[in-house]
Chain A
Amino acid sequence: MQKIVLQLVYCVAMRIVLRLFVGVRIKRATFLLHEKQFIIVANHNSHLDTMAIMASMPRQLIANVKPVAAMDHFGKTPLKTRLSNFFVNTLLIQRKRDKENPENDPIHSMIKALDQGYSLILFPEGTRGEAEVEQPLKPGVGLVLSQRPLVKYVPVYMKGMGKAMPKNDNLIVPHNATVVYGNPTAIASLEVRDIVNQVEQSLHSLRDAL
């Protein structure tokens, strides 16, 4: 049931809305079909980021990809939690680490989801920043990848989303935007710091190619 809803919402409705009205240029990321499992790492400026990445997913994958989102924002109330989990297929995590209770630990929940076979969408910048301003990456992506080194990461760079729907204004004003995918990449080192740097490099090279 949820799979059909997700397919209708993202592969049909969201694609039309984003392309026609918001002005996002999306290409379908069909190459992801060849990957068994992946973590999409993207820059983050807008709620539309998740929508655009989900809308570019191939239909077959959509139910298998979980956007990682902050519990304190998308899980404020039980209703909000259920809505996010159903309509956005989110994996809600705490922002802060909690090593004593693995159930609440964000790194642990992400690894658990990977072990269950899900792919993830991760915004390592954390919260949405100001439009077109990059923030330093948080180490979470490195921690997860260093523990599951066989999973590849896919860098995604988005431009213009923060102009269409920025952080402090929930009114969507159409603005041309682009989503570009990089190639699935394996990590080159098991060091958390190195992984974060590698991911940052990949994002920068996508940005510079735009």
Chain B
Amino acid sequence: MDKLLRLDLFEKPDLLIAIGSIYAILIFASLLFFIVGLIKPKANLAELKQRTKSWWVMATLFVGTTMFNSNISYVAIGMLSFVAFRELYSMLGFRFSDRRGVFWAFLSIPAQYYLAYIGWYGAFIIFIPVVMFLFLPLRLVLKGDTVGIVKSIGLLQWILMLTVFGLSHMAYLLSLPELPGFTNGGRGLLLFLVFLTEINDVMQFTWGKLLGKHKIVPKVSPNKTWEGFVGGLVSTSAIGYFLAFLTPLSGIQTLLLSFFLAISGFAGDIVMSSIKRDIGVKDTGSSIPGHGGILDRLDSLSYTAPVFFHIVYYLAY
């Protein structure tokens, strides 16, 4: 019961400062677009305004589900994995005979999050890469339909790794043991990870719009430029350095961590872009107004979450 109704957020000044700055940025962005809209009524701000509105909703959902009660957080992040898995799986096209295998893959989501919840690290880290990796092909084979089975075996495992294994690292952050002298715990790390990943997306987008000229991978994502990438890298590392108080790491370690976070965020982004390009869709869905589907927002996070987790785990735990 104590863990269920833990309302100690207000005794954690570090977390409050970070949450406060998220909302400060949101207020600033909303005001900015409002004022620019007044000065230049012709400027096309509809999409930016829509996006900012969705950011408000997402930020509030995130803070509401992760900062107060960690039991709810496991369920909420698990739900996120589920929706992302469903979106990607629906997009990629499976065979009728894959349904049973896919059903088992769905069942592995609560199992993976349960392992995160009880904090059994050994099982958590092998469940999808080893257990499901061996089991799912077997389940597909037992159905007896071999035409196109290679694609199904490969895709199913890959989707699980990206949307469930990767994202579940966010939940495991909350199960990390307490460190002496570090009171923010998993919530601080989770806040750092999500905040920095999203800031990196926004920074790459903004720098790209302001200065972008030289394209990195024009065939995959024409909006990704070297200027945007480097601008994002520098700003994210700097912001990460100032948010070091949320982590148990030293300033210089956090700087490096943020650096790798920015690179992996970019990687996740273009990997998802290439998949969308292959299928021929612009967005993965339409569940978040202005952003596209859930995956359009989670693409970088699915890469940053495991990278961030394992760097922190290696350095501090």
Contact = CB atoms under 8 A, between A and B. Distances in A.
15 contacts: A23-B83, A23-B86, A25-B287, A131-B96, A160-B90, A166-B99, A169-B96, A173-B99, A173-B102, A173-B106, A174-B86, A174-B106, A175-B86, A176-B90, A177-B90
Nearest to B102: A173
B89 A175 contact: yes
Contacts of A175: 86, 89-90
A169 B100 CA distance: 10
B103 A163 contact: no
B103 A23 contact: no
A173 B103 contact: yes
Contacts of B14: none
Contacts of B106: 173-174
B285 interface: yes
A171 interface: yes
Interface size class of A (residues with CB under 8 A): 10 to 19
By DSSP majority rule, is chain A's interface helix, strand, loop, or mixed?
loop
Interface in B49-81: 79
Interface residues of B, number: 17
A169 B86 CA distance: 19
B63 to A, nearest CB: 21
Interface of B: 79, 82-83, 86-87, 89-91, 96, 99-100, 102-103, 106, 285-287
A176 B89 CA distance: 9
A25 B102 CA distance: 21
Q: Give the 7 A-B residue pairs with the shortest CB-CB distance, closest first.
A: A176-B90, A174-B86, A23-B86, A173-B103, A173-B99, A175-B90, A173-B102
Contacts of B79: 20
B95 to A, nearest CB: 11
